[in-house]
Structure 1
């Protein structure tokens, strides 16, 4: 290869292109200077050509079929632009989205391992299933809509776009970005109208790939990594493809925000965390005390929250001693009551002491069986109708998975997830609450309008 590069460089140097005037103003009065100059120039040209070869390997050569136009960035203090972007979302849509989130969260997390930490993003699964519904017809579509609690695909299409824009922010404080994509087998013919619709109303990019090329999985992995802040890199096995696959649908979420009131790092101290099996582990706990803050203390659990700068919040649900997070998680009604208790008449204002373990972990969930339990079954059958997407037969979904990661520290919260679907105030103090999270607990991260972004369980803060 270097012989070829040397030849290219020689050809370049021996061409009759004139040198710039500044280059020939004063001839070098050194013996052999011409030869030295030529060698140096050859080295420079070889470097330029070689760099092109090296950089070529890092490029993602993907044939883009449809591409969305994302909302523009708005400064954290640019209130006028923030007001312009606000759209009213159908209250019934938000209510039904909340029901889906609670029901699916209860089902997903109640089946997770009690010895590890678990994280689930209901909004990511909702986005993936809503796009799946858009590619389906007839009973296949109706079944998905029924599980999502939505009256029609028109409602899903209209309100999902509004939700995307309302949740989205990207400023100097933080970022909440939803990313959707379809990875299409280049040997299959797809309905371009459906792909354009998904780009317009669901902000979904469509890419054509060679599913026989081993490098294709790396291209999907790279795109996902770029969407979620570089987290979960090099997870090529998560995106493996084979020639029988028709399409992979991927929905991502990246969330970062800062606490309104940061924890003082000097107040972070090591202390004990009591595991459910009776063992004790040491963990670093962040500490803060509010003189007047909202909380709920009822028989069974205590709830409070911390505000985030971009209008989100992180809710903490601490079961009473002797109870497990799974006692709450496994009961959808009880979980719903706990998450929303701060907006009911059970809410009090008083002194709240926070003692929260720092944690960082990743989670991976298989969601195909969960979707079947929820009532989505037709999409996994060869009789499913995805003719809105392609006339290829048979065309059905073979698997649904979700991977996620989260970390919290004194500054704020960072959380990511991707779902992959394979086709083949203040008031007078009234009481006191201690959010001493030194035993297994539940956490919830919500966005604007209380939209549930992430729900998880901490069984051991030291497990990553």
Structure 2
């Protein structure tokens, strides 16, 4: 058997939430105090409604990975579930061409907003876990500029189906950006920070946010004593030294002429990390290009239990990406120029999606995996005929303090070096 030095981690672990309860009166926080998703008693959904979006979620992830890989080199780490739920909240308030485009991205053509909402609640409920070894939390929030009012139907569905915290903010107040960032930080156990820029964009109307946090202990922990610095072979032929963890166990395993793969379970096996290592005669790029939902399902069906050794890099990664161009490639062609949110606002003319951004974090160690992701969808007002100015005082400058009524200069000076 070939020696296994995993290169690619395909993660399907950020796809649920723990601690889901019922009843709107329950505290919307988990046992650590972080915001979490609760489901109201009166919300109705089918136990298998999640099937409407489960495969679509995976397809979105594969398309994301392929598009980003074509755009850039290096590490990529995304949460399709976080992006899917953030866009689902927008879908809830969209109409016309915007709704059609988001449906295309979400592989949800023909799906009503009500069906989308029920499917998301069903998914959250289905993946809820009470395991002491796995913590998995989803939270949503929506922040809206003063002077804008959501339709009552949008507010109700956002709170009922997504348990979204809805806050009105003064976008000119720096504390508003702090409040958004504090919410994201709390929801991700301080792993995702500075999600919102400070100051907030002057044309911001609303920001819809999804956050996911995962912390899972391996069912079969790696021994710290077995971790050693070993060579890791890069795509360009060079080699770097990295800490490789080692584990001998009976694990679910698959080997084809194109790759080796192993499934590493968390907790009691409720969730797994699937690790795929392309064959030396193949490449990571070829593997990602060949990956489809059909192939993925076929691969998972062929795993079999087998005794063996896994050597897996111990690593930590932070990733951030604005997804505007990728989403345009996937079908949202006009929403970034003009968006129809007539099911969100009483009047939605002159609005556009200004930015869809995702930030993510993962740490893989001998004990397990900690991962988090946050996705923001920012909606802005169309730029005025005359754009706002920008003054970046980043070189020597002059200043004066004057009295407005008399015109007298009280103080004046020139700064060559502020330090």
Normalised by the length of structure 1, the TM-score is 0.68
Choose which of 356, 364, 379 in structure 2 pairs with 1:400.
356
**Does structure 1 residue 317 correspond to structure 2 residue 276?**
yes
Name the residue aligned to 1:135.
93
The whole-number CA distance in structure 1 between the counterparts of 2:264 and 2:227 is 17
Choose which of 366, 369, 377 in structure 2 pairs with 1:410.
366
Choose which of 260, 268, 280 in structure 1 pairs with 2:239.
280
The whole-number CA distance in structure 2 between the counterparts of 1:410 and 1:168 is 25
Name the residue aligned to 2:264.
306
Contact persistence 2:322–2:357 (CA under 8 A): yes
Q: Shift in Å at residue 341 of structure 1?
A: 4.3
Q: Deviations over 1:423-461 (max 9, x none)?
A: 01xxxxxxxxxxxxxxxxxxxxxxxxxxxxxxxxxxxxx
**Does structure 1 residue 212 correspond to structure 2 residue 172?**
yes
**Does structure 1 residue 387 correspond to structure 2 residue 387?**
no
Q: Shift in Å at residue 320 of structure 1?
A: 0.9
The whole-number CA distance in structure 1 between the counterparts of 2:25 and 2:337 is 31
Q: Secondary structure at the match of 2:312?
A: strand
Q: Deviations over 1:9-46 (max 9, x none)?
A: xxxxxxxxxxxxxxxxxxxxxxxxxxxxxxxxxxxxxx
Name the residue aligned to 1:122.
80
The whole-number CA distance in structure 2 between the counterparts of 1:264 and 1:287 is 7
Q: Secondary structure at the match of 1:118?
A: coil
C-alpha spacing 1:219/1:368, structure 2 compared with 1 (3 Å) = same
Give the 5 Å matches for 1:2-81: none
Name the residue aligned to 1:154.
114
Larger Rg, first or second structure (1 or 2): 1
**Does structure 1 residue 343 correspond to structure 2 residue 303?**
no
The whole-number CA distance in structure 2 between the counterparts of 1:155 and 1:147 is 16
**Does structure 1 residue 368 correspond to structure 2 residue 319?**
no
Normalised by the length of structure 2, the TM-score is 0.75
Root-mean-square deviation (Å): 2.5
Q: Secondary structure at the match of 2:335?
A: helix
Choose which of 117, 135, 142 in structure 2 pairs with 1:175.
135
Q: Deviations over 1:149-207 (max 9, x none)?
A: 22312221111011122334466433111111111101222223312210111121111
**Does structure 1 residue 197 correspond to structure 2 residue 157?**
yes
Name the residue aligned to 1:444.
none
Choose which of 218, 222, 245 in structure 2 pairs with 1:263.
222
Q: Deviations over 1:128-147 (max 9, x none)?
A: 11111111112211221132
The whole-number CA distance in structure 1 between the counterparts of 2:70 and 2:273 is 20
**Does structure 1 residue 245 correspond to structure 2 residue 204?**
yes
The gaps in structure 1 that reach 5 residues or longer are 1-66, 75-84, 425-464
The whole-number CA distance in structure 1 between the counterparts of 2:299 and 2:56 is 19
The whole-number CA distance in structure 1 between the counterparts of 2:88 and 2:149 is 22
The whole-number CA distance in structure 2 between the counterparts of 1:90 and 1:123 is 12
Q: Shift in Å at residue 419 of structure 1?
A: 0.8
Name the residue aligned to 2:248.
289
Q: Shift in Å at residue 336 of structure 1?
A: 5.5
Q: State how many pairs are aligned.
A: 340
Name the residue aligned to 1:10.
none
C-alpha spacing 1:312/1:110, structure 2 compared with 1 (3 Å) = farther
The gaps in structure 2 that reach 5 residues or longer are 1-23, 32-44, 381-419
